[in-house]
Amino acid sequence: MKIRILVTGGTFDKEYDELSGRLYFKDTHVPEMLARGRCRLDLTMETVMMIDSMELDDGGRAAIVQRSAAAMETAIVVTHGTDTMVETASALAAANLSAKTIVLTGAMVPYAFGSSDGLFNLGSALSFVQVLPPGVYVAMNGQHFHWDRVRKNRATGVFETL
Amino acid sequence: MKIRILVTGGTFDKEYDELSGRLYFKDTHVPEMLARGRCRLDLTMETVMMIDSMELDDGGRAAIVQRSAAAMETAIVVTHGTDTMVETASALAAANLSAKTIVLTGAMVPYAFGSSDGLFNLGSALSFVQVLPPGVYVAMNGQHFHWDRVRKNRATGVFETL
Amino acid sequence: MKIRILVTGGTFDKEYDELSGRLYFKDTHVPEMLARGRCRLDLTMETVMMIDSMELDDGGRAAIVQRSAAAMETAIVVTHGTDTMVETASALAAANLSAKTIVLTGAMVPYAFGSSDGLFNLGSALSFVQVLPPGVYVAMNGQHFHWDRVRKNRATGVFETL
Amino acid sequence: MKIRILVTGGTFDKEYDELSGRLYFKDTHVPEMLARGRCRLDLTMETVMMIDSMELDDGGRAAIVQRSAAAMETAIVVTHGTDTMVETASALAAANLSAKTIVLTGAMVPYAFGSSDGLFNLGSALSFVQVLPPGVYVAMNGQHFHWDRVRKNRATGVFETL
């Protein structure tokens, strides 16, 4: 089974800029994470953008849909900021890419920081995408949610079933 | 869905004893790993044993089968040393626990060391166990394998389809 | 020899707030760092404030001077943001605490992030404070500098001799 | 001031071999540690050997003495296993390299593991070597000890004054 990973940035990939003291994006950590997970899946990774999902607008969202539609693979994992992950899932569902299983995932803490959930979530998303039927899903907190039955609880940082 | 995690030790849970300079087992790291993954599954964890899977004998293997049979849950993740993971999977399959989905996982590097694959593998196993049909599986390297179609390649440390 | 550590915050102690996505201060990491360094010095730690050194004003600087003057110990390490570390060193020198050896240190990357220089710098500052003659010093980049012969190069993030 | 670092192995530099499950030596981590500490000292590093200090014999010890004597630098840090660090310090003192300040340091936990004291100790040793008078010292636990007034307490793993 071939899988495509579409990288869009998000907390997952944030780094600390030691000169400015701010968080920013440089390169994605996904290849390093896959190496650490000794992942042996047949994967192609594509960086669509590197942004904070709070700054993702309709144009950016359309680009993610477009790259998902153009992908040859029927299994797609999208790494994404958690704040608007559900909105992008909704846009992907609206595109009606009916033969594809698309799983969005992200992280609450950047991978570059010791305590990140990113590696757990990436292992989870890559597993769900291999076995779930076509559709659009969010994989966070060890769980998977249908795109239209999930929200991020901003007070707790946890994804919940609607 | 309720999931049971049966802990048996393995590289996953090894620690460095700074007085003797040797690797040993103390407590399992699974709760810490679940916290780091912000896991919100309905889980019960049970430590069956804490040993190197090279030292696991028929009696130990019978104990793992017995705890799997006794579990109320139909979804079970077994953390296990990689060296004899396939043998234990085979023993679980022979027990014919037909309503249950059992996924074995482990790590090539202890979780306590910076470069461990354990968190990735735990995220993967917990995801597979929720969606795979009843049966016994090994989840390693981002993949899942039927118990009777997998072996660990000891030269590379990678699990392969038979 | 008794040593006092005055904690003032700085990059050293910043953490990632996973709900807001911002860096902030909670508790100091100094005790955890001392434990990790298996430090057996006779130390007293005192948190004077927890702020970004860019926000440190004359009142705050006076508080650091006052706590240094009030300390019973003649060896004092001050953990401090790097941006205005030299200004605080200058204020401490102006106070003419002539019997005391005072060493300021900090970090370019928060201790909570994998790649922090904080542990190295703390080991360095605690060593210099034990052997340098009375005076006010900055310990960064493995070096020690007299308070009036150092500046932070903001383009490179490195402390340099004037 | 020019400093030479003589690398001899020890716990400091041990790594986990994921195929055999054993600890072993590959390359030294000292350059990576210096980079992480943003160290800007004028350093030359030389790997004398990469062994467990329990396996260090008279010939090995003579090699460390010989490299210390041959060094152009008057400030030398020796990274060394903790178990026989005091014996090597004694051999160095017997060689009567009277113009040199030699500081031995090591770690209780390998640098490659999350919880290592190595970075703290390296920062400490590099600082002591710049300011202590000629002689042979052990730098561990944030402290420095004269070579003939120290022992490792094997029950606690802590270096103590004799």
- The pLDDT profile of chain C, 162 residues, written as one tens digit per residue, is 999 999 999 999 999 999 999 999 999 999 999 999 999 999 999 999 999 999 999 999 999 999 999 999 999 999 999 999 999 999 999 999 989 999 999 999 999 988 899 999 999 999 999 999 999 999 999 999 999 999 999 999 999 999
Q: For residues A15 and D28, give the distance between their C-alpha atoms in angstroms, rounded to a whole number.
A: 27
Residue D10 to residues A102, C39, D139: CA-CA distances in angstroms?
A: 48, 19, 15
Please identify which residue in the block is written with the tokens 């508080």: C63
CB contact under 8 A, C119 and D120: yes
The distance from CA B1 to its chain's CA centroid, rounded to whole angstroms, is 19
Q: How many angstroms separate the CA of residue D110 from the nearest CA in chain B?
A: 9
CA-nearest of A143, A35, A31, A137 to A76 is A137
- The partner residue sitting opposite C112, judged by closest CB among A23, A114, A154, is A114
- Would you list the DSSP string of A88-120? HHHHHHHTT-TT-EEEEE--SS-TTBTT-SHHH
Disruptive mutation site among D13, D15, D18 for chain B (greatest number of B CBs within 10 Å) = D18
The edge-to-edge listing of strands for the beta sheet with C75-79 is: C42-51, C2-9, C75-79, C101-105, C135-140, C143-146
Q: What pLDDT score does B88 carry?
A: 98
CB pairs under 8 A between A and C: 37
The answer to whether B107 and B118 are in contact (CB under 8 A) is yes
* Total count of residues recorded for chain A: 162
The answer to whether C41 and C3 are in contact (CB under 8 A) is yes
Q: What pLDDT score does B98 carry?
A: 87
Give residue-wise pLDDT tens across range D44-60: 999 999 999 999 999 99
- The partner residue sitting opposite D110, judged by closest CB among B16, B52, B157, is B16
Across the range D105-124, mean pLDDT stands at 95
Contacts for C147 with CB less than 8 Å, ≥ 6 apart: C86, C89, C90, C92, C93, C135, C136, C137, C138
- B142 contacts chain A (CB < 8 A): yes
Please name every residue paired with C151 in a beta bridge, in sequence order, or none if there are none.
C160
Give the predicted TM-score (pTM) of the model.
0.96
Give residue-wise pLDDT tens across range A78-132: 999 999 999 999 999 999 998 999 999 999 999 998 889 999 999 999 999 999 9
CB contact under 8 A, A16 and C52: no
CB contact under 8 A, C114 and A109: no
Q: Is A161 exposed, middle or buried (0-12, 13-18, 19+ CB in 10 A)?
A: exposed
Q: What pLDDT score does D64 carry?
A: 98
Rg of chain A over Cα atoms, rounded to whole angstroms, equals: 15
Disruptive mutation site among D127, D143, D151 for chain C (greatest number of C CBs within 10 Å) = D127
- D109 contacts chain B (CB < 8 A): yes
Q: For residues A89 and C128, give the distance between their C-alpha atoms in angstroms, rounded to a whole number.
A: 55
- The partner residue sitting opposite A127, judged by closest CB among B33, B41, B128, is B128
- B33 contacts chain A (CB < 8 A): yes
- A139 contacts chain B (CB < 8 A): yes
Please name every residue paired with A14 in a beta bridge, in sequence order, or none if there are none.
A25
In one letter, which amino acid is A32? E
Q: For residues B35 and C83, give the distance between their C-alpha atoms in angstroms, rounded to a whole number.
A: 35
The answer to whether A16 and A23 are in contact (CB under 8 A) is yes
The distance from CA C25 to its chain's CA centroid, rounded to whole angstroms, is 15
DSSP β-ladder status, B2-9 and B75-79? parallel
End-to-end CA distance of chain B: 31
- Tell which wins on pLDDT, A12 or D76: D76
Q: What pLDDT score does A57 carry?
A: 96
CB contact under 8 A, A23 and C18: no
Touching C: which chains, 3+ CB pairs < 8 A?
A, D
Q: For residues B100 and B136, give the distance between their C-alpha atoms in angstroms, rounded to a whole number.
A: 8
Q: How many angstroms separate the CA of residue D19 from the nearest CA in chain B?
A: 6
